[in-house]
Structure 1
């Protein structure tokens, strides 16, 4: 298991940031590797809600994920696939003087031979996630 974290401040109210993140169909707008995200379960978003998303990078794939924590304006957590990796992704939000502090934590399972290249792979993914989060920040601040 490899874990990394990115933290940034978004100059928007915490409720607006949470609402945007909780609409997982928004992911393709700020994550360059995802071309589509769609809900596959009925009802409002909450614990147990499931999604399928289409990934274009590093190779085309369809991935499933499930919401495992849903605490409005505080925390979102999902479990599923990030490319070839089983992953848990958390978004923790707190009010900051000029908006919202967003901490994104990613826990990657490193199966088989990927364990040997874990540090290199993790560093690359962390950098890509950071770039995506910066796009998210720009979208929300526009």
Structure 2
């Protein structure tokens, strides 16, 4: 299934891109992700591979596409759910618009997948709001009560 979210941030596009492209920053704005470690590659670049530990599971991901400052594509290499995430970073008068597109296979039967994807889309939108506040304000409280700041 496919879904998309958009969000505007009052932060320069290159700064947003650099922060989001570094997959090790995900736990700072996604409460469900506990830890991300880089397994292969030097910094965020095509071919970089990561191990992502989440609250209930884990998986390996890789950066499969990158146009610095413009777009980023991350895909599941091993584990579930299987996804392809493509993010576009567009300049606006006040900063950056992120267009976050997902192709997701939950593994659920078709009748349940539609319901699951709706919930996941809402959760992703909530995480993008946390990212916005983190980058604009320097700190944010995540859904699980953790207070994080840029550089923590």
Q: Would the TM-score normalized by the shorter structure come out above 0.5?
A: yes
Please report how far the alpha carbon of residue 88 of structure 1 lies from its aligned counterpart in structure 2 after TM superposition.
Answer: 0.3
Superposed displacement of residue 81, structure 1 = 6.9
* Contact kept? 2:4, 2:101, Cα under 8 Å: yes
In the TM superposition, 1:45-60 aligns within 5 A as 45-56=44-55, 60=56
TM-score (norm 2): 0.85
Partners of 1:72 and 1:140 lie apart in 2 by 18
The answer to whether the Cα contact below 8 Å between 1:35 and 1:55 also exists between their aligned partners in 2 is yes
Are 1:55 and 1:83, in contact at CA under 8 Å, matched by a contact in 2? no
Residue by residue over 1:27-78, the C-alpha shift from the partner in whole angstroms, topping out at 9 and shown as x without a partner, is: 001001100001000323211110001000xxx2121001011111000001
Q: Does 1:141 align with 2:142?
A: no
Give aligned pairs, total. 137
Partners of 1:7 and 1:102 within 8 A in 2 = yes
Stretches of 4+ aligned residues off by more than 3 angstroms: 81-84
Q: After superposing the two structures, state which structure 1 stretch, 79-88 or 120-129, moved more.
A: 79-88
* Structure having greater relative contact order (Cα 8 Å, sep ≥ 6): 1
Deviations 1:85-125 (A, max 9, x none): 210011101101111000000111243x4322121111000
Is 1:117 the counterpart of 2:112? The answer is yes
Q: Does 1:107 align with 2:103?
A: yes
Name stretches of at least 5 consecutive residues in structure 1 with no aligned partner. none
RMSD: 1.6
Q: How far apart in 2 are the matches of 1:87 and 1:17?
A: 22
State the Cα distance separating 1:82 from its structure 2 match.
10
